[in-house]
C-alpha cells in the first residue's frame, strides 16, 4: 500500500517536469516573453471592485509580506502624476523578428490589457489617466470586444503574432502608464 502511494507521487513529479520542459522548448529564438506586473492589495481592491471587476486582485503573496499597494494609494499616485512603477510591462522595449511570438504573461495579481494603440494616452478608467484623454483603442472598456480580447487575467498569457514590420505601441487600457514599444525588423 505504501509503495503504491509512493509510485503515484513519483508520477505526479514526472508530470511537473514534463510541463517545465515544454516551457523551456517555447523560449527559443522566435519566442519572446513580456511580463505584466503589479502590486495590488487584495483586501482593498476586492472590496471595491468585486469578483467581476476590472481590478480583481489575486495577489496574496505580496500582500502577506506587506509590499502591496492599496487601491486608494494607486489612485492617489496616478492623480499626482506619479503612477506606481510597480504596475509595469517588462521590458519597456523589445526588437523582434517578423515571425516571433510575443507572449505577454500576467505575473501580477489583477487583470491588465495589452492593447495596440496608434498613440499612447489614457485608458478607460478616467481617474487613473492623470488628465490624458482615453485613446480610441481603449474606449468603452471591456464592453468593447476589441478591448476585451486584449485582456490578460492573473496567471494567464496573451500571444501576439503576425505583427507587421515597424514600430508598434502597446499599453494597458486600465493602467495607462503601463506602456511598451515593439519594433519588428
Ligand atoms: Cu494594467
- Distance in Å, CA 149 to ligand 1 centroid: 14
Q: Is beta strand 93-96 parallel, antiparallel or unpaired with respect to 179-184? A: parallel
Provide the 8-state DSSP code for 115. Answer: E
Distance from the CA of 106 to the center of ligand 1, in angstroms?
9
41 C-alpha to ligand 1 centroid (Å):
14
Q: Specify the pLDDT at position 14.
A: 40
Per-residue pLDDT, 134: 98
140: alpha, beta or left? (left if phi > 0; alpha if psi -120 to 50):
left
Cell of 88: 509595469
Cα(133) to ligand 1 centroid in Å equals: 17
Of 48-62, 68-82, 141-155, the one with minimum mean pLDDT is: 48-62
Lowest mean pLDDT among 63-72, 78-87, 169-178: 63-72
The answer to whether the CB of 43 falls within 8 A of the CB of 66 is: no
The larger pLDDT score, comparing residue 99 to residue 64, is at 99
Across the range 123-140, mean pLDDT stands at 97
Per the model's pLDDT, the better-predicted residue between 175 and 11 turns out to be 175
Query: Whole-angstrom Cα distance, residue 127 to residue 123?
Result: 9
Predicted TM-score (pTM) of the model is 0.81
Residues having C-beta closer than 5 Å to ion ligand 1: 112, 172, 174-175, 178
Read off the pLDDT of each residue in 63-84 and give the average, rounded to a whole number.
91
pLDDT of residue 49: 77
Average of per-residue pLDDT values in the chain: 85
Instruction: Look up residue 21 and give its three cell numbers.
Output: 520542459
Amino acid at each position: 500500500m505504501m509503495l503504491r502511494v509512493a509510485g503515484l507521487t513519483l508520477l505526479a513529479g514526472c508530470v511537473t517536469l514534463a510541463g517545465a520542459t515544454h516551457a523551456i522548448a517555447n523560449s527559443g529564438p522566435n519566442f519572446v516573453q513580456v511580463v505584466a506586473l503589479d502590486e495590488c492589495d487584495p483586501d482593498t481592491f476586492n472590496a471595491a471592485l468585486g469578483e467581476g471587476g476590472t481590478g480583481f486582485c489575486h495577489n496574496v503573496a505580496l500582500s502577506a509580506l506587506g509590499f502591496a499597494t492599496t487601491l486608494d494609494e494607486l489612485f492617489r499616485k496616478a492623480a499626482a502624476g506619479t503612477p506606481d512603477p510597480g504596475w509595469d510591462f517588462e521590458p519597456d522595449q523589445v526588437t523582434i523578428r517578423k515571425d516571433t511570438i510575443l507572449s505577454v504573461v500576467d505575473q501580477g495579481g489583477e487583470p491588465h490589457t495589452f492593447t495596440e494603440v496608434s498613440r499612447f494616452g489614457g485608458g478607460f478608467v478616467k481617474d487613473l489617466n492623470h488628465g490624458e484623454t482615453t485613446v480610441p483603442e481603449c474606449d468603452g472598456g471591456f464592453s468593447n470586444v476589441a478591448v476585451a480580447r486584449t485582456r490578460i487575467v492573473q496567471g494567464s498569457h496573451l500571444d501576439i503574432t503576425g505583427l507587421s514590420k515597424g514600430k508598434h505601441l502597446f499599453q494597458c487600457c486600465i493602467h495607462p502608464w503601463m506602456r511598451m514599444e515593439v519594433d519588428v525588423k
